[in-house]
Amino acid sequence: MTNGDLPAAQHAALRRIAALATAKAPAADLFGAVVREITTVLELPRGWLFRYEPVAEISVLASVNFPPFSAGSRWPLDGPSMAATILEIGRPVRVDDHSGLESTIARRVRELGVLSMCGVPIRVDGGIWGGIGVSPQGGELLPVRAPDRLAAFTELVAGVISGAASQDRLARLADHRTSLSRIATLVAEELPAAELLAAIMAEATRVLGASAMFVGRYEAGDAMTVVASVDAPRFPVGSRWPHDGPNLSALVYETGRPTRIDEYSEPSSRLAVGIRESGLGSAIGVPILAAGRIWGIGCVAMRGTGPLPAGTEDRLQDFTDLLGLAIANAESRRRTRRLAAEQAALRRVATLVAEGAGPAELFSAVADEVARVLDVAAVWVVRFESGTTSIVVASRDDADLPVGSRASLDRPGLAATVFETGRPARRDENERSSAAAAEVAVPIMVDGRVWGMIAVALRSSREARPAHAGILTSRLVLSDASAHEVESRLAAFTELVATAISKAQMHDDLRTLADEQAALRRVATLVAHGAAPAAVFDAVTAETAALLGADGVMLCRYADGDEITMVAHHGPAAGELPLGSRIGRVPGFAELLGARAAVEAPVTIGGRAWGLIVPYWRGGQPPEADPEPRLSQFAELLDTAIANADSHDQLTASRARVLIAADEARRRVVRDLHDGAQQRLIEAILTLELARARAPSTDPERDSLVADALEQLQQGVEGLRELAHGVLPRVLTNFGLKAGLTGVVTRLDLPVDVDVPAARYPAEIEASAYFIVVEALTNVSKHARASRAEVRVAAEGGVLRIEVRDDGIGGADASGHGLVGLEDRVTTLGGRFELKSPRGGGTALIATLPLPFM
């Protein structure tokens, strides 16, 4: 083809393109024909037609002999290239060397070996819509006039291209409408919240060509909480963004209209900083309206520096309008379900009232029903006592305010406000929990006075968690329950509670009296059956703890001076203050026991002060405002039982003193034998040995007599040692239990494994432990037919635990003289004795001796 033939070729090409346009060929066919005709007329092997997208990309719509840039491919405008320069300057561009250009498009062109390329813009409705580019084969340069000829030819087909572009735009508009139709169908089908939100987000980002999108719900007008998020990692579901400046969310909330911010070079709020740090530039927010009021915001954004296309606001508003409709529908359904659930809950509570349920059961049921129906973060039912104290009688989902928690009504707070005014009250901040927002309380009125209140903590949006794919599924409603709504709904529950309180309180008082009488009968039965004092004292503390709802109870007896002795301890601190502990008469029992509260009442026997009974509460406060009068009354009823048990205790103590005195007498005997008779015999032996050495004799008879005398004296010493060892070995007195028992074991023909601490204990404890082990091992050697035995001694929990076990034939007789004597010794010292000896299964003797409080 010669230059002279060019006009004719152009006209022929134009006629073919016009014919396709007249026949209303699809846009893709028309764009392909334009590229083929241009490359043919210009006698160039490669050509492509592309469109600029809103997301800093180009879409290739038609291509000839340019495989990487085939129709349908998308390429980012991430650096200098022919396409990027055309968009920037709006004029034809020629590039004869791609070696210095760093962008995805330029690098791909270099890989193809293409050296020279030119392109011209395609304008539609006054704006740059796309472009056409051509290039020669391989490393050849374009002819000098190629850009002008391409521009001239493009101008000739501009009308056809514009029509095709308009057709393409109509197709995209149709896609938008189709997408909205799909979403509307889902809304009509009442799709679950998670699926609906996911569908809206997917359709909106695809149709709008946005890089990221999130949906937020307004919280009391001062913040926005993200409830759905796509490709926006700095805006995860549940994150909260305050209105701390003129940011996108705040402007949409204030104006109720769509808002656009195309540049975030100097962010003035946390939201703006988050958008910039996400690599997002232009952002658009539109309001989400539900039931005629603003619910939240839908926001789309673009990465890079280019702005979102004009008209994006209106197209995004189409999607958020459908979302608002879904929210309003969900709210209507929620109200219907809520009313039904509330009526069912009230019927269940009313049934309990009619059946005469006790206060504890009723209050607990009310708290459960309120928590379930209102879906709040926490619930408390509170009683006001004597106009000075509030006490929690039911609690749900708040470990910091359990049942029994007390607070003074003199301190400012919800309880004080409700008590003083007799009206509902609200606190907008919950300092103790980030999961709860405002707190609301409604009074319980009984016989015209404020008896107490029901309080709830409204749930905070920060508590919410995404279910999947960045979508929040907890609530697709207008908002959490408002304070006013909660007040009106709580009122129905408080009326039922007030109706039941008088009746329930009467039943509670009768039940308390019955419980006290039953407790007294159980203690009196123990005394009548001759139970040990320790068992009676344990029963007294256990019954008192049950009646008062205490965590623990101590029973103490006055000792000499300013001390008291622990005679019974029921509760978690029993290991810290075991039986026999002697402590000073301190006024602060609560601090001593690590408790929140403690109350003491005197125990008087025969007109004299005998001791104290002290209940305490570690996990909370006493369930009664002032338990001391009731405690004192119950202590008076227990006086007779304690007096009888104390008499028995004194007898036991007398026996213990006799036992200790006998052991002390044994120690004196051993000491006298060692320091007296034994010492003299040893001196006699030494004297005879010395005499024989100094005066040698030739008289065999005399030598025989001296030898016999020495042997008799030596046997006498050994006999005295054996006698002393049987009474109480001196090594035990001097070096302790471990040394004493080691000496015993070495004289046995039976292998014995010994585990005894080297610590020293009181003399009476060491002596008793020694006799227990010696008697047990003697029985093993004589009767058990065992191959081995073991001795274990350990101090734990305020007692010395002694265990002697063997692998013999078992069947030991507990009524034997030796074992009965051991049991008497152990019980006399206030300990416990246990014998396990099944036939064929070996024998285990276990004794515990109380250690004095150190």
Give domain limits for the chain. Answer: 3-172, 190-334, 356-502, 530-653, 729-854
Backbone dihedral region of 311: left (phi > 0), alpha (psi from -120 to 50 degrees) or beta? Answer: left
Tell me what the pLDDT averaged over the chain comes to: 75
- What is the mean predicted confidence (pLDDT) over 326-336? 67
Confidence of residue 804 (pLDDT cuts 50, 70, 90): very high
With beta carbons less than 8 A apart as the criterion, state whether 498 and 454 touch.
no
Class of domain 729-854: alpha beta
pLDDT at 133: 92
In angstroms, the CA 272 to CA 794 distance is 68
At which residue do the structure tokens 């003074």 appear? Answer: 408
**Which residue carries 């009308």 as its tokens?**
159
| Tokens encoding 822 | 């051991």
Kindly tell me if the per-residue pLDDT of 231 is higher than 70: yes
Q: Is the pLDDT of residue 497 over 60?
A: yes
Of 338-342, 437-441, 542-546, 839-843, the poorest mean pLDDT is in: 338-342
The architecture (CATH level 2) of 190-334 comes to 2-Layer Sandwich (3.30)
pLDDT confidence of residue 641: 63
Q: Which CATH superfamily is domain 356-502 in?
A: GAF domain (3.30.450.40)
User: Do 530-653 and 729-854 fold alike per CATH?
Assistant: no
pLDDT(291) > 60: yes
- Please give the average per-residue pLDDT across 423-432, as a whole number: 70
- pLDDT tens across 470-490, in order? 443 333 333 334 556 677 777
pTM over 0.85: no
The larger pLDDT score, comparing residue 122 to residue 673, is at: 122
Share of the chain above pLDDT 90, in %: 8
DSSP for 196-236, written as a single string? HHHHHHHHHHHHHT-SEEEEEEEETTTEEEEEEEES-TTS-
Checking if the pLDDT of 749 tops 90, the result is: no
Long-range contacts of 514-518 (CB under 8 A, 24+ apart): 515/546, 515/547, 516/547, 516/634, 516/637
Partners of 844 in the β-ladder:
805, 836
Q: pLDDT tens for residues 771-793? A: 888 888 888 888 889 999 999 99
CB atoms within 10 A of CB 557: 20
pLDDT for the residue 730: 66
Burial of 211 (0-12, 13-18, 19+ CB in 10 A): buried
* CATH class, range 530-653: alpha beta
Instruction: Measure Cα distances from 314 to 129, 199, 202, 298, 467 in Å.
Output: 21, 19, 17, 12, 30
Q: What is the mean pLDDT of residues 164-192?
A: 60
Model pLDDT for residues 592-610, shown as the tens digit of each residue: 777 778 888 888 776 778 8
Span of 31-35, 457-461, 469-473, 721-725 with lowest mean pLDDT:
469-473
The CATH H-level (homologous superfamily) assignment of domain 3-172 is GAF domain (3.30.450.40)
Give me the phi and psi of 700, to 5 degrees please. -60, -35
Higher pLDDT, 327 or 43: 43
Let me know: does 791 contact 772? Beta carbons within 8 Å: no
State the sign of the Cα–Cα–Cα–Cα dihedral 603, 609, 615, 621.
positive
Q: If you count DSSP H runs as helices and E runs as strands, how many of each does the chain have, helices first? A: 22, 31
Check residue 806 and give its pLDDT. 94
Rounded Cα distance between 427 and 417, Å, is 10
At residue 452, the 3 state secondary structure works out as strand
The pLDDT score that the predictor gives to residue 766 is 85
Burial class (CB in 10 A: 0-12, 13-18, 19+), 503: middle
